[in-house]
Amino acid sequence: MAFALTSSSSSTAISGSNFPRSTSSSDLKVPQIGSVRLAERHATVNLSRRRCAVKAVNADPKRNDSIVPLAATVAAPEVLEKEEAEDFQQLAKELDNASPLEIMDKALEKFGDDIAIAFSGAEDVALIEYAKLTGRPFRVFSLDTGRLNPETYRFFTEVEKHYGIRIEYMFPDAVEVQALVRSKGLFSFYEDGHQECCRVRKVRPLRRALKGLRAWITGQRKDQSPGTRSEVPVVQVDPVFEGLDGGIGSLVKWNPVANVDGKDIWNFLQAMNVPVNGLHSQGYVSIGCEPCTRPVLPGQHEREGRWWWEDAKAKECGLHKGNLKEDTAAQVNGIGNGAANANGTATESDIFNSQSLVTLSRTGIENLARLENRKEPWIVVLYAPWCRFCQAMEESYVELAEKLAGSGIKVAKFRADGEQKEYAKRELQLGSFPTILFFPKHSSKPIKYASEKRDVDSLMAFINALR
């Protein structure tokens, strides 16, 4: 089928075969990205005033195997006029306690062939398993940035064979990638941040893909990144990207596992004998591009394996920026959650609270740094209470303080966000939160803890080597 956009002066048709369906027909062909042809039949629909609802096409397994770039793709299932927009905010409340399987079934039922699962090649393979369990046809797409790990590419093939599907790969614009690399090199993100590269290799290809859909399904979970995803609903009108009909509100975003803990996702994958990315067995949890992803260590949050050279609050690539809280930009600049106080810090509840810990003020840390002959050595954490990585090490650091109580070593904390951040970066070697410093007994210069192992034993080994 085809879909024609008409105007008073001309009539243009763009062929719009959809993504390959999940039916495992043996004659499925790999989509030919970039083919465009004139449609032989035309259907004229006025989209100027009314929203469109799509009749499910689950009973029609026949597909056209060609595909055009999704920026120009216009699907053509049977179109029905719908007078009133769906209240997805109310639906999110109704489904908040529903199982991922129930949410997935509802999503596929509502949007038929105009919805697709976004698959990153990580534990979000659970989404494909849930879709399969509904018994409904489904579609899967993925963003091939050109810089994924070899294990991820092999995993894509394994998933296709396991489920009898064809994943539709979206690629970045070759001209944009060429311009970026020629002007800034292959690894510019280590110097000036990952956002530009992600915008070229991920965000723009995603935008093109979503223009051919009315809804998409993601693997976002609230516990993946509490600072940026803690309020993710199970379904929402996408606040950032546009869908097939164009304009704000034209795309619906489903997050079936939003309320599921990561450990429960893994229990599900093991119980259902679902194939997983080989990188997981090497310590990787959150998986992205090869240069920007590494295994996480004990005591680290899963997102700490992504863009590790940047501050905690920068660990989003832009695909889900609509779920960022309004204060996230301020947090990246060194101000925590909540309204800022007059001194530039925030109202977020403090952490590292223990009678065994010394809380240092700006004057206190300055005096400590100036001393050349201290009565005892100090270990100090530079932190921000909103930082999830600081929160992740709170238990081990408090335990360290209690273990060292009365030992002649002082354990302290200094809040280094807000207006203190520039001083901490200039004088205290602050790179990102948390930063741990050891002030020796007979030396004015502090020694920075270089490892990211923040368990008690690792911190004790560091202290014992210097005390």
d(CA 296, CA 307): 12
pLDDT of residue 346: 42
Q: What count of residues does the chain have?
A: 467
**pLDDT tens sequence for the chain (467 residues):** 333 333 333 333 333 334 445 544 334 333 333 333 333 333 333 333 333 333 332 333 333 333 333 333 333 344 333 434 578 999 999 999 999 999 999 999 999 999 999 999 888 999 999 999 999 999 999 999 999 999 999 999 999 999 999 999 999 999 999 998 999 889 888 877 777 888 889 988 999 999 999 999 999 998 776 555 568 899 999 988 889 988 778 999 999 999 999 889 999 999 999 999 999 888 888 888 888 888 876 666 666 777 766 755 444 444 545 554 444 333 333 333 333 333 334 446 889 988 899 999 999 999 999 888 888 999 999 999 988 788 878 888 998 999 999 999 999 999 999 999 999 999 999 988 999 999 998 877 899 998 878 888 889 999 998 87
Angle at 144 between CA 138 and CA 146, to 5 degrees: 170
Three-state secondary structure call for residue 235:
strand
* Pure H helices in 19-99: 88-94
* Cis peptide bond prior to 434, omega within 30° of 0: yes
pLDDT of residue 62: 37
CA distances from 44 to 12, 85, 371 (A): 10, 22, 80
d(CA 13, CA 9): 14
pLDDT of residue 223: 79
Question: What is the Cα Rg of the chain in Å?
Answer: 26
pLDDT of residue 423: 95
pLDDT of residue 301: 67
The structure's pTM equals 0.54
Bridge partner list, 51: 82
d(CA 80, CA 217): 23
Given the residues 197, 198, 317, 390, select the one marked as catalytic: 390
The question of whether 317 is a catalytic residue gets the answer: no
CB 104, CB 134: distance < 8 Å:
yes
CA distances from 230 to 226, 261, 355, 460 (A): 5, 12, 30, 33
Q: Which burial class, exposed, middle or buried, applies to 342 when counting CB atoms under 10 A from its CB (0-12, 13-18, 19+)?
A: exposed
d(CA 359, CA 352): 9
pLDDT of residue 22: 55
The question of whether 292 is a catalytic residue gets the answer: no
pLDDT of residue 463: 92
**Pairing label, strands 168-170, 140-143:** parallel
